[in-house]
Amino acid sequence: MDMNTFNDWIRDFEAERERRGADGDPDWAPGARLPAAVWRSVQRFQVGEDGDGANLIGKADEAADTAYAAAARLFVAEEQNHARLLGLLLDAGGVPLLGSHWSDVVFVRLRRLFGLRIELLVLLIAEVIALRYYRALRDGTTDPLVTEVAARILADEERHVPFHCARLRQESLGVLPLAGWRMLLCAVTVFVALDHGPALRRLGVRRTAFVADVLRTPAGAAWSTAGRGGFTRRPAARRRRSAPYTEAK
């Protein structure tokens, strides 16, 4: 599929929406079991996925690209679905939702300080980190419901990263902004690895390996945002598990 125009992305998002509707939700009835440290981690990620996306949509509208603005709305809807899935997963495990978390408040405020370009660069950091986190959650547990929910979200995130990169390629990003972005990515990734360290350890991933994996992704290396190749859209099989990471126990 040619993903050079945002009309293509609209069709991609709409096709995924139709597929989700046809597949329906996972079976929540059996419940879910995870170590307490992992549940606490999922609670914080659920807060991070939640939100109405009004700020991003407003900036997308101001960009004077109707196709991109429409695609951005569809992206926000997928993020809201992630929050819904994680909320239902927590409910299936008998774990309450968090009303808020300070780290998410800081991240959202940082995104809202500037225009669309900076918002997307900051948002891209969260998406790149999410790729590794949801893979760890998918592969690090034997609970079928947790595996299913993590796999669904991961498949979406694998599309979201190139979507943001496609927009950022239209911006003039110099060497200094890209260097600053990579420094911020490194700092945020280290923070996440420390903050979620107990959960990552229970999922079989060392903190250092988590950081290294995030920084090794093409988007993490900041190549695709500079228009120098790299992260492209990959069709994602939602129910096929790739080989699990084995860095740590």
pLDDT (0 to 100) of residue 5: 80
**How many whole angstroms separate alpha carbon 116 and alpha carbon 56?**
7
pLDDT at 94: 97
Instruction: Identify the pLDDT of residue 224.
Output: 42
- Smallest Cα–Cα separation from 77: which of 47, 50, 58, 104? 50
Phi-psi region of 25 (alpha: psi -120 to 50; beta: other; left: phi over 0): beta
Q: Which tokens in the block code for residue 220? A: 């993490």
Output the pLDDT for position 227.
41
Q: How far apart are CA 33 and CA 41, in angstroms?
A: 14
Give the model's pLDDT for residue 7. Answer: 94
The string of pLDDT tens digits covering residues 60-80 is 888 878 999 999 999 999 999
Ranges of residues in the chain whose predicted pLDDT is under 70: 1-4, 51-52, 100-114, 172-177, 218-249
